[in-house]
Chains A and B, each alone.
Chain A
Amino acid sequence: MPMSEVARPRQDVVAARNQISLFSLFKTFLTIGAISFGGGVVAYIREYVVRGEQWMDDEEFLDALEVGQTLPGLIAVNLSVIIGDRIRGAAGALAAAVAILLPGTIVVMTAGVLYVGNRQNPAVNHFLGGVAAAAVGLLTAVALQLGHKQLVHIRDFLIVMATFVAISLLHRSLITVILVIGPIAVFLYHPTTHRSGRIKPAKTREPIPLAGHR
């Protein structure tokens, strides 16, 4: 698989990566999966992979993130697959994806079994009701911070509005919306669409704002 000129890691980095064992890759993503409470898993991955283990620099991390958030799926899981693949190929991708999901699966299933057994308990209902309300505050903050960083053009806002209106007010199916608005949005950003031929870059490449810790 040929790598492009831009994203090619340095030879010494590649050599160093071959020294990283599948086990330590698994262990690191397992740790991230176990401590990333409160969402913002991407920030934890960056903390561990870039700052802690120094398996890649920030530039390569942000490249991976751009791909991971464009493709369908949970961004943290996509990112784990990409990072695992860059470090140890297919086995690395599998190890990272399983490791990031395993601790949360154990906790969520334990809580889920307890919930299903106690779902008529008013205390459980009241507690989970407050959790959901707090989550609304969290989701709004994440969406607005992300929007603040990524929405540059009036065109961006129109696409956001069209998407929101189609899903939330007109109750169109997600597939329809993606198949209709997606190609239009991509077309609007193709350089030939603009006379200048250049697209104003996003304000920053720091896409994910909220994390449990810095």
Chain B
Amino acid sequence: MQSTKILNLMWVFALLSLVAVGGGTAVLPEMRRMLVGHFHWLSDKQFREIYSIGQIAPGPNMLMVEVIGFRLAGAFGAVVVGLAFFIPDCLITFYVNRVWKRFEGSPWRTAIQRGMAPVAIGLMLSGTYTVAKISIVDLTTGLLALVVFAILYFRHVNPAILIIIGGTITLLVHGF
């Protein structure tokens, strides 16, 4: 039972890592589809809360996948998910980058880099939409998202500060 779950976690996150075109945000819709929809391992609320934990930590926000592993299968689950999510991409990048250099100036290389850029942006928007769907639940959270967007789009502020202020605001609005 537990070992089946570990194996499932491993292939889900290894697969997610292979399709993470354009960074971590791009896989959020698929991650939710699998974890919340297909396997029913997490509720939307839990998915949202674990995603938020990733926002508070330094380094890549997607390190939160380790917390998903921990929540679902304990410490071993965290390790398995972490390795499954990071090792395939690191190996691909390592080897392809070395080969990639040979194709400098090749029209195919340029076409891949230029063509995949808008796909990546479309995927980022989809990831953003997924987080918005499960996070914007009332007027407070809606206004919060809007204000943070406006500040970051027009001013240069460390997002971490706004993230912490955001959490504090909903905490104060809803009480302890």
Instruction: Please report A residues at the B interface, Cβ cutoff 8 Å.
Output: 1-7, 33-41, 64, 66-78, 81-82, 85, 90, 93, 97, 100-101, 103-105, 107-109, 111-113, 115-116, 119, 122-147, 150-151, 155-157, 159-164, 167-168, 171, 173-175, 177-178, 181-182, 185-192, 199, 202, 210, 212-214
Contacts and interface: CB of A to CB of B under 8 A. Distances in A.
A108 B57 CA distance: 6
A46 B176 CA distance: 41
B49 A130 contact: no
Contacts of B117: 69-70, 150, 156, 202
Contact of B156 (A127, A162, A214): A214
B159 A40 contact: yes
Interface residues of B, number: 117
Main secondary structure of the interface of B (DSSP, over half): helix
A146 to B, nearest CB: 6
Q: Which residue among A37, A76, A144 has the maximum number of chain B CB atoms within 10 Å of its CB? A: A37
A143 B130 CA distance: 14
B52 A109 contact: no
B118 A163 contact: yes
B94 A93 contact: yes
B101 A210 contact: no
Given A6-B104, A85-B98, A151-B121, A41 B59 contact: yes
Q: Which residue among A74, A103, A191 has the maximum number of chain B CB atoms within 10 Å of its CB? A: A74
Nearest to B150: A137
- 10 cross-chain pairs, A with B, having the tightest CB-CB distances, nearest first: A104-B59, A163-B122, A137-B148, A73-B89, A134-B166, A130-B170, A38-B160, A112-B67, A4-B104, A38-B159
Contacts of A68: 93, 97
B89 A71 contact: yes
Interface string B139-162: 011101111111111001011111
B133 to A, nearest CB: 9
Contacts of A140: 128, 132, 145, 149, 153
Given A100-B59, A173-B33, 7 more contacts: A72-B18, A131-B163, A136-B149, A140-B145, A141-B149, A186-B115, A189-B110
Contact of A212 (B18, B101, B129, B158): B158
Contacts of B62: 74
A145 B136 CA distance: 22
Interface of B: 15, 17-27, 29-30, 33, 45-46, 48-64, 66-67, 70-71, 78, 82, 86, 88-90, 92-94, 96-98, 100-105, 107-108, 110-132, 134-137, 140-142, 144-153, 156, 158-171, 173-176
Contact of B159 (A67, A146, A182, A212): A212
Q: Which residue among A133, A141, A159, A161 has the maximum number of chain B CB atoms within 10 Å of its CB? A: A133
A135 B94 contact: no
Contacts of A202: 114, 117
B52 A162 contact: no
